[in-house]
Amino acid sequence: MNLTLYELTAEIAAVRDALDEGNLTPEQETEITALLDRALEKLLPAKVSRYCEAVQEFKAFEAACKAEEERIAARRKTAVNVRERMIARLKYGLETAGVDKVAAGTFTVALQSNPPACEVEQMSAVPAKFLVTPPPTVDKRAVLEALKRGEDVPGCVMTVGRHVRIR
Name the pTM for this structure. 0.55
Cβ–Cβ < 8 Å for 78, 51:
no
- Kindly report, residue by residue over 90-141, the tens digit of the pLDDT: 999 999 999 999 998 899 999 998 898 888 889 888 888 888 888 888 999 9
pLDDT attached to residue 167: 64
Question: Which of 18-32, 88-102, 114-128, 148-162 is predicted with the least confidence, judged by mean pLDDT?
Answer: 18-32
